[in-house]
Homo-oligomer: A and B are copies of this chain.
Amino acid sequence: MLKAIQILGSSSSGFVSFSYRLKRKPQSNCDLYFLSRKPIKASNLSSLGSKAPSFAFRFRKGRASIASQMSHIHSESNPYGASSSSSTSTSVQSTGSIRKINFCQSCGGRTKHEIPDGEEKMRAICTGCGKITYENPKMVVGCLIEYENKILLCKRKIQPSFGLWTLPAGYMEIGESAAEGAIRETWEEANAEVEVLSPFAHLDIPLIGQTYIIFLAKLKRPHFSPGPESSECQLFALNDIPFDSLAFSSMLVTLQLYIEDRKVGRPMFHYGIINKRPGTSPSEIHAYTLDHHLKS
């Protein structure tokens, strides 16, 4: 990895007014990241799917770098870099929250933040036992459920994105598969028993270290109701999807890809990278580009 992208400092763009704390989802280890405090306008639906693969890799010092693509990405703020105990954040930490790792989980020793010998990325290294703490992206798993030509959405009763609509989804847990996690989250958020039919989308959001894995699924029985984290669960016809009040860019992309697929035939499998547009706020869920979009 390129060292240049690991030491980016604070940024004045975006993410300027968190007025509430980023809070862990109490039941499913989910802290989806966008904070949408005002109604969102469907301003740029055309941003989806139109981009050709946009990788621009440079090779130097014997390693692949991702400078040109990442340079603008990391001018955005990273919610993962924001302290959960802070009410505001404009800081950027492109290596995740490595700077928040102050102590070793094993021995309790103080950490230092350096690039270890033989590596190229800054890590938290224990000054006591020498253990290196690695951070990796997290998977968010969910289901896109169609029933009688309608899609099941949940209105969030928790932050972030309180009051906005999402597919049932949450963090994948240790000990389960992505499909199991998607089924579990659907049960937790919509009290709906589903059968996973096929993988539909893998969407990376490098800025915040998240990967969305969405499955197509069907209801085992025609029942659903709001779980503890949802205020409503509702089926929407494809023409009535509330694109002006969705919770996350990832859900916007997923639903648009699905609608596009349905127009031309059966759903495919989609891979893509969601990059926020420079200078935009995370709450502007339409301000993204879908890069490196690949289908199978």
* A contacts, CB < 8 Å to B: 1, 5-6, 24, 26-27, 29, 53, 55, 57, 59, 62-64, 66, 69-70, 74, 84, 94-96, 98, 100-108, 110-111, 118-121, 124, 131-139, 171-180, 183-184, 187-188, 191, 193, 195-200, 202, 204, 206-207, 209, 211, 213, 215, 267-269, 271, 273, 292, 294-296
Taking the closest CB of chain B, its distance from the CB of A12, in whole angstroms, is 20
Which residues in B have their C-beta under 8 angstroms from that of A29?
Answer: 119, 121, 134, 136
> Do residues B196 and A294 form an inter-chain contact, with CB atoms below 8 A?
yes
In the docked arrangement, what's the CA distance between A178 and B6, Å? 18
CB contact under 8 A between A102 and B108, given known A119-B26, A199-B271, A200-B296: yes
Which residues in B have their C-beta under 8 angstroms from that of A267?
Answer: 296
Q: List 28 A-B contacts (CB under 8 A).
A: A1-B175, A27-B118, A27-B120, A57-B180, A62-B191, A74-B175, A94-B174, A98-B174, A100-B105, A103-B105, A104-B105, A105-B111, A135-B174, A136-B136, A136-B173, A136-B174, A174-B209, A177-B204, A178-B202, A179-B204, A179-B273, A198-B294, A198-B296, A199-B202, A199-B294, A200-B296, A215-B271, A267-B296
Number of copies: 2
> Do residues B26 and A118 form an inter-chain contact, with CB atoms below 8 A?
yes
